Homo-oligomer: A and B are copies of this chain.
Amino acid sequence: MTAKLYSYFRSSAAYRVRIALGLKGLDWQTVPVHLLQGGGQQHSAGYRATNPQALVPALQLDEGEGAAVLTQSLAIIEYLEETRGGAPLLPPDALGRARVRALAQSIACDLHPLNNLRVLAYLKHTLGVDDEAKNAWYAHWVALGLSALEQSLATSSATGRYCHGDTPGLADCCLVPQVYNARRFNCPLDGYPTIARIVAACDELPAFEAAAPERQPDAA
């Protein structure tokens, strides 16, 4: 397949899908959607016809799959897992899958959505929050999310070189972009040694390296 990935280089959610595509050994074509230029290209009528949520990523499959458009990063990755070969991104046992999905969702549902662009913009422009309070908001949800995640990872024998065993998977696809963003916002990460160790292990893999924001065609 050469699917089209509607992506923004700094979007955490698009970054997750780029990692998953890479781990599966798949090719894709990037369609940049600049979230800041011109008031945000994601709000254009053209992009809203692709994804009514006006969020990235969206993955448009090729004609062989009816050119269907998939949205929501975790749903896209589950689709790739079900339909493509390559490295498995979920473990073979149901309890393991439940663990990996829960780790992924603790980031994708409870951490990232609180700190994404549209929320920070609302805080600033609608609530009139100053930069200091906005940064404190960001750091608060990062600390809350990552400390719980650190505890889950550090106390489970299921954690290996990666979030689950010694194979990178769905949870790692979510963790690495979240930590990338936390670093970009200067959030202290000293308290999360297990997370730091796993991210360092991921960073050695070509799929993670190729998916990094600065490696994207639309990188500033």
Enumerate chain A interface residues (CB-CB to B < 8 A): 52-55, 65-66, 68, 70-72, 74-76, 78-79, 82-83, 94-95, 97-99, 101-102, 105-106, 108-110, 112-114, 119, 122-123, 126-127, 129, 133, 136-137, 140, 148-149, 151-152, 155
Q: A133 with B127: in contact, given A52-B148, A97-B78, A110-B113 (CB under 8 Å)?
A: yes
CA A172 to CA B114, docked complex, whole Å: 24
| A71 and B102 within 8 A (CB) | yes
| Chain B residues whose CB sits within 8 angstroms of the CB of A53 once the complex forms | 106, 110, 148, 152
CB distance from A96 to the nearest CB of B (A): 10
CA A78 to CA B99, docked complex, whole Å: 11
| B140 and A75 within 8 A (CB) | no
A52-B149, A75-B98 given; 14 more Cβ-contact pairs under 8 Å: A52-B152, A53-B148, A72-B101, A74-B101, A75-B99, A75-B101, A75-B102, A78-B97, A79-B95, A79-B98, A82-B94, A114-B114, A126-B140, A127-B137
Residue among A54, A110, A129, A151 with the highest chain B CB neighbour number at 10 A:
A110
Copies in the complex: 2
Pick 10 A–B contacts, CB within 8 A, sort by A: A54-B148, A68-B95, A71-B102, A72-B105, A72-B106, A75-B105, A78-B101, A109-B109, A113-B113, A122-B137
CA A52 to CA B103, docked complex, whole Å: 11
| Chain B residues whose CB sits within 8 angstroms of the CB of A68 once the complex forms | 95, 98
| B65 and A79 within 8 A (CB) | no
CA A136 to CA B128, docked complex, whole Å: 14
| Chain B residues whose CB sits within 8 angstroms of the CB of A78 once the complex forms | 97-98, 101
CA A140 to CA B126, docked complex, whole Å: 11
| Chain B residues whose CB sits within 8 angstroms of the CB of A114 once the complex forms | 113-114, 119
CA A211 to CA B155, docked complex, whole Å: 33
CA A102 to CA B51, docked complex, whole Å: 11
| B94 and A79 within 8 A (CB) | yes
Nearest opposing residue in chain B for A95, CB measure? B68
